[in-house]
Amino acid sequence: MEILDGKLVSQSVKDSLKTKVSQLLEKGGKRPHLAAILVGNNGASETYVASKVKSCEEVGFTSTLMRLEENIPENELLDCIKKFNDDPDIDGILVQLPLPKHISEQQVIETVSPSKDVDGFHPVNVGKLMIGEADYLPCTPAGIQQLLIRSGVKIDGAEVVVVGRSNIVGKPIANILLQKQKGANATVTICHTGSKDMAFHTKRADILIVAAGKPKAITADMVKEGAVVIDVGVNRIGMTPEGKAKLCGDVDFEGVKEKAGAITPVPGGVGPMTITMLMMNTVKAAKLAASVE
């Protein structure tokens, strides 16, 4: 059984991005600039944004962090996004989710310019993904694909089962892996809460991707011997004696690792790849803005 180390793979990608930033500057482009907007004081969001800002520094980006009050009116948030849209120095815009309940996440997503939508959530970019012409892939699905590719997992022709149909993970990873492209070309099944016999499908998977949003939803009896298991879930299930949050995934790691050929840990699996793919999208946005290959 192999542990798919997202930290190790993401560091390799970051190292290559540093080189791409240097090459961009040599060709007359500017340093990539990511602008992040954080609304309110959600602890998890604070942690995620801090990691993203740190990654920007690591790969040689410029970053801007705009903090807004929890009770900011929706129209004022949209105005902030529009200012970033109009700023030629900014290549990528990230609005950290979730947002307060009085703000429409979909309205926010649609306000970000598609050319600066480095999260890959705008309907224009989702549509491009569907036809295999995406400028920016959503970060978590892109991270999953890169983790599989860079770990030597054969995707072409594989039976892939995705548990979960969210717009952030389930639907896009299914679309990415079924494309007739290198690093894809799989047969993909999506399971969800309406699936009558989840285990029937998951036990057929050569590659099982789990984004169910439920702790330890996938157990050993639901996994084929030797399968590659990608656990996207991050669930807080208590506190450690040291006072840190105790985390687990959507897969029963201890049980499933005895059957899996390879498996991602939680934390340290998909999470680091997600942030690194945001950096990759921002480099691409800067290159597109500068008309540099």
Catalytic residue set: 52, 96, 119
Rounded Cα gap, residues 228 and 232, in angstroms: 13
Rounded Cα gap, residues 20 and 17, in angstroms: 5
Q: Which residues contact 200 (CB under 8 A, 6 or more apart)?
A: none
**Cα torsion at 163, 164, 169, 173 (round to 10°)?**
50
Rounded Cα gap, residues 32 and 142, in angstroms: 20
- Report H helices in the chain: 6-26, 43-59, 74-86, 105-111, 123-130, 139-150, 170-178, 198-202, 253-256, 270-290
Q: Which amino acid, 156?
A: D
